[in-house]
Amino acid sequence: MKTLKDILYKVSLTSTTGDMEVEVKDIVFDSRKVGEGSVFVAVAGTQVDGHEFIAQAIQKGAKSIVCEALPGELNKEITFVQVVDSAKALGVMASNYYGNPSSKLKVVAVTGTNGKTTCVTLLHKLFMELGYVTGMLSTVENKINDAIIPSTHTTPDSVAINQLMAGMVEKGCTHCFMEASSHAIVQERMAGLTLAGAVFTNISHDHLDYHGTFDDYIKAKKKLFDELPKDAFALVNADDKRGMVMMQNTKANKHTYGLKYPTDFKAKVISNTLQGLELDINGKQAWFRLIGEFNAYNITSVLGSAVLLGEEEDEVLMQLSKIKGANGRFDQLVVEGITAIVDYAHTPDALENVLKTIQGVRTGGEKVITVVGCGGNRDKAKRPVMAKIATEMSEKVVLTSDNPRDEEPMDILKDMEAGVNPVAFKKTLVIADRREAIKTACVMAEKGDIILIAGKGHETYQEIKGVKHPFDDFQTVKELMQLIHTNK
């Protein structure tokens, strides 16, 4: 059992009151989960301020409290620790509590609007193929070697990160590849971690509801690089306007990748089909099972990360060319000559890239039918933009629900419709029920046509007013395509 003093190592303290040798059973930042002997860390959030729940935490058995502002009256039985930043303190405490697992692994964090899951999944699979025992933290799933631990966030909270990494160390992992969401960076979920490297994929419109301005969104991503140690590597996409901005203040070793300019890791697309990509990558020709130019970026960043971690380039390319991407990213199904594609594109940039890829591989007279929605309780500004892209780049569009969460589906759809040019309304249907929307697309499709179902990718649920209802785009379209188009 660790004491409070043990786990406060390296935390910036303002004041302490009470016994610092008090034993800590677990670290909890949600008063509802406090048990006998927990230390409760009060963090100010987006909805409420954790400081409001200090009394409740004590009532439930917390013996020590870590907070930024002390309560008016201090319970003499309890140890109070005042800190400068409780979210940061939580990260450092969680690292100490679990024996600083990140310092025993080579941890690479990938940030960027799009491509994080794809890159960490490729890295995880690659390092397994290279013979390492490897961990991964991602939107789709967390992994300790082959074992899957369900994921609730793109980047888990600090306690969960360290608990998972401790599990990785215990199982003999040498590497961990993790996604760093901008929310997580701002909320200090990664405070206290030791990183071997960080990768920047790209930045485009998303999450302005949370960050307020695009500048603050850029700053959030840059913070990951600002805080890297000097023995780590920073690897950025030089083709993105903000790539070099990320590295402006980093102490880490700077590296670049891309398709357009001379960079440390450079690729050129030789061919791009629905079967895969052929690249000239660092002067070598190789074939990959991923689709679309945007995946040429992901592959090049993965090659770069692996080489910067000390791997041999030819071996990396050989293994990488066998690997498939993450579930729900450009998953294809062909029934009676109709192709259905399920993709997690949930930002304007991703949707445009996927539709560009489809435009690039289509042969002529076929229709592209896009089914797309936007999530509730998320950035409203991206809604009209995504609808505009869908209608400009497809022959038919069905606007539908994504995860409405606490919003009314028709309100979200109204926001989307605002982006549709009046002429494009002729080819646009609005069907809130996602299954019905997919069904309509299947009915409209004829031999040769391509249906894109965007936004939910690997997700196996639809979140409506706090309840996650089972829903799987790929299973739904598979079932409906077979029902509608086979044995006709």
Ligand X SMILES: Nc1ncnc2c1ncn2[C@@H]1O[C@H](COP(=O)(O)OP(=O)(O)OP(=O)(O)O)[C@@H](O)[C@H]1O
Ligand Y SMILES: N[C@H](CCC[C@H](N)C(=O)O)C(=O)O
The annotated binding site for meso-2,6-diaminopimelate is made up of 378, 402-405, 455, 459
Per the annotation, binding residues for ATP are 112-118
Count CA within 13 A, CB hemisphere, residue 35: 4
Q: Tell which positions 129-148 bind Mg ion, by CB under 5 A.
A: 139
Question: Where do contacts with ligand UAG occur on this chain (CB under 6 A)?
Answer: 29-32, 43, 45-48, 50, 53, 153-155, 157, 181, 183-184, 187
Query: Judged by CB, which is closer to ligand Y: 188, or 206?
Result: 206
Q: Output the DSSP codes for 342-383.
A: EE---SHHHHHHHHHHHHHH--SS--EEEEE---TTS-STHH
Residue 299's H or E segment, with its range, is: helix 293-308
What DSSP designation does 279 have? E
CB of 206 to ligand UAG, least distance (A): 6
Give the β-pairing of 265-273 and 253-258.
Answer: parallel
CB of 468 to Mg ion, least distance (A): 18
> Is 375 among the residues that bind ligand Y (CB under 6 A)?
yes
201 binds, among Mg ion, ligand UAG, ligand X, none (CB under 5 to 8 A by kind): ligand X
| CB-based contact 217:203 (threshold 8 Å) | yes
CB of 289 to ligand X, least distance (A): 15
The binding track of 235-264 with respect to ligand Y, each residue x by CB under 6 A or -, is: ------------------------------
Residue reference for tokens 């991503």: 221
375 binds, among ligand X, ligand Y, Mg ion, none (CB under 5 to 8 A by kind): ligand Y
Per the annotation, binding residues are 31, 112-118, 154-155, 181, 187, 189, 378, 402-405, 455, 459
| CB-based contact 456:371 (threshold 8 Å) | no
> Is 383 among the residues that bind ligand X (CB under 6 A)?
no
| CB-based contact 107:178 (threshold 8 Å) | yes
| CB-based contact 193:107 (threshold 8 Å) | yes
> Is 255 among the residues that bind Mg ion (CB under 5 A)?
no
Q: Which residues contact 14 (CB under 8 A, 6 or more apart)?
A: 82, 83, 84
Q: Which residues contact 94 (CB under 8 A, 6 or more apart)?
A: 27, 158, 159, 161, 162, 163, 192
Q: Residue 210 to residues 377, 378, 418, 419, 454: CA-CA distances in angstroms?
A: 10, 8, 22, 22, 23
How far, in Å, CA of 346 to CA of 482, rounded?
26
How far, in Å, CA of 288 to CA of 299, rounded?
8
Query: Judged by CB, which is closer to ligand UAG: 66, or 316?
Result: 66
Q: Which residue of 102, 134, 154, 476 would you call a contact of ligand X, by CB under 6 A? A: 154
Of 338-346, 389-397, 435-443, 479-487: span binding ligand X (CB under 6 A)? 338-346
Query: Judged by CB, which is closer to ligand X: 86, or 117?
Result: 117
> Is 294 among the residues that bind ligand X (CB under 6 A)?
yes
> Is 156 among the residues that bind ligand Y (CB under 6 A)?
no
Query: Which residues of this protein are in contact with ligand Y, per CB under 6 A?
Result: 139, 154, 346, 375, 378, 402-403, 455-456, 459
Query: Which residues of this protein are in contact with ligand X, per CB under 6 A?
Result: 112, 114-118, 139, 154, 179, 201-202, 294, 297-298, 329, 343-345, 349-350, 353-354, 457
